[in-house]
Amino acid sequence: MDFHKSRYFSINKRMLKCMGLWPYQSSLTKIVIHTCTTVIFIILFIPQICCFSMHIGHNGDKTMQAAAVTIYIFVIFLKSIAVMMAENKTRKMYENIVDNWKLLKNEDEFNTMKEHSEFGKLLTIGYIAYMYSAGTFFVTVPFVPICIDYVFPTNSTRIRIFILDGEYGVDKFDNYGKIYIFESFTCISTTFIFCALDTTYSTCVQQCVGLMDVVKMRLKLATKRDRSNEDGNYHAMRECIILHKNALHFAKVLESSYSTNFLIVMATNVLIVSVGSVVIIMNLNRPLELIRFGLIYIGLFIHMFYLSWPGQRLVNIGNQLYEDTYNNDWYQCSIETQKLLRFMMMRCKEPCHLTAGGLYVMNMANFGSLLKTSMSYITVFSSYR
């Protein structure tokens, strides 16, 4: 099966094409889309940089909020740049996925890979649904005072809330509608980039996890005693080892494709967590703003969880495979088969995981550490309030 043309990858492929990040697009198409994307990012940066420079040293609330939004936009820009720079690696990764499907031998193995592919598609749909639900809420909350004014009119209009509150060199309140549309577009476009890049990553990790699961199936069959066909056991174990080698190679290609991306995200997430903690503390007396930025803060951790959990699944399947290399009937196998199993066991001792630049392992233990650190930030900042 050509995975790229299957329904399991159709959503991811469309989103990547819209961003010019599908490696099989024409060079002209990618250049045009990348140029437009860069121009859009420059336009998004300007109001926040103006706001930061205008209020620094005078208004701490505005300064920290502008800093948080600027970092957010900058992170997304760097994420897209990192994927552009790793185009050859991602192309190799997609080719590996297609080649891995060709190694499957029977219906059970195909069904196993399809189950993991289906789960990857569910992760994609669920993440997109969450991101746009959260984004819609973030965008619509500033519209609440206008709705209240319409339903319960008073002599004076209620205060207007801006989505990102940048500076545009015009009277913001007279041009509230135009600014609201522009900042809504900012949120929608940046959310789309998050969805395209993160869901593609999780879908590809599921392919690696599925391949490891097929290795487990082959290992179980290869270690079943068959006195009438010992050569068959030996060849089955040999094929199992070859498939395991391919799975480990694919894991390395996957890490190589996303390592820089992860390093950028995790490094800046720590910065966003600290700045976001200050923004939340500053908005404790403003319920609507507190709800908005509080949900964005929670969304940041859901984003990090979404990146860490697939990495943890890969670690788990690697550990399970190591356990399966000795929790079987190896003592009933031929000497030749036992020797092959011994080599596989030695290789399984090395952890199979994804890292951020080799400095940070993408797993739930490190995610928990980040969560704990963020709670510490909020506690410390609130004590100085």
Q: Can you give the pLDDT of all 385 residues of the chain as single tens digits?
A: 677 778 888 888 899 888 888 888 888 988 898 888 888 888 888 888 888 888 787 777 677 777 778 878 888 888 888 888 888 888 888 888 888 888 888 888 888 889 988 998 998 999 888 888 888 888 887 777 777 767 776 666 667 777 777 788 787 777 888 888 888 888 888 888 888 888 888 898 998 898 888 888 888 877 775 555 556 677 878 888 888 888 888 888 888 888 888 888 777 777 777 766 667 777 677 776 677 777 777 777 788 888 888 888 888 888 888 877 777 776 777 777 778 778 877 777 777 888 877 777 888 888 888 777 777 766 665 665 5
φ, ψ of residue 192 to 5 degrees: the values are: -60, -40
Beta bridge partners of 355: 361
Q: Give the per-residue pLDDT at 231.
A: 65
Torsion of CA 107, 112, 114, 116, to 10 degrees: -170
Q: Give the per-residue pLDDT at 384.
A: 57
Q: Is the Cβ–Cβ distance between 181 and 188 less than 8 Å?
A: no
Q: Give the per-residue pLDDT at 1.
A: 65
| HEC secondary structure over the chain | CCHHHCCCCHHHHHHHHHHCCCCCCCHHHHHHHHHHHHHHHHHHHHHHHHHHHHHCCCCHHHHHHHHHHHHHHHHHHHHHHHHHHCHHHHHHHHHHHHHHHHCCCCHHHHHHHHHHHHHHHHHHHHHHHHHHHHHHHHHHHHHHHHHHHHHCCCCCCCCCCCCCCCCCCCCCCCCHHHHHHHHHHHHHHHHHHHHHHHHHHHHHHHHHHHHHHHHHHHHHHHCCCCHHHHHHHHHHHHHHHHHHHHHHHHHHHHHHHHHHHHHHHHHHHHHHHHHHHHHHHHCCCCHHHHHHHHHHHHHHHHHHHHHHHHHHHHHHHHHHHHHHCCCCCHHHCCHHHHHHHHHHHHHHCCCCCCEECCCEECCHHHHHHHHHHHHHHHHHHHHCC
The identity of residue 276, as a single letter, is G
What is the distance between the alpha carbons of residues 198 and 304, in angstroms, rounded to a whole number? 10
What is the distance between the alpha carbons of residues 316 and 353, in angstroms, rounded to a whole number? 9
Q: Give the per-residue pLDDT at 103.
A: 85
Contacts of 83 (CB under 8 A, 6+ apart): 21, 90, 197, 261
Token pair of 29, please?
Answer: 């198409």
Q: Give the per-residue pLDDT at 158.
A: 62
| Boundaries of every domain in the chain | 3-383
Q: Is the Cβ–Cβ distance between 48 and 183 less than 8 Å?
A: no
Q: Give the per-residue pLDDT at 259.
A: 83
What is the distance between the alpha carbons of residues 339 and 54, in angstroms, rounded to a whole number? 70
Q: Give the per-residue pLDDT at 240.
A: 83
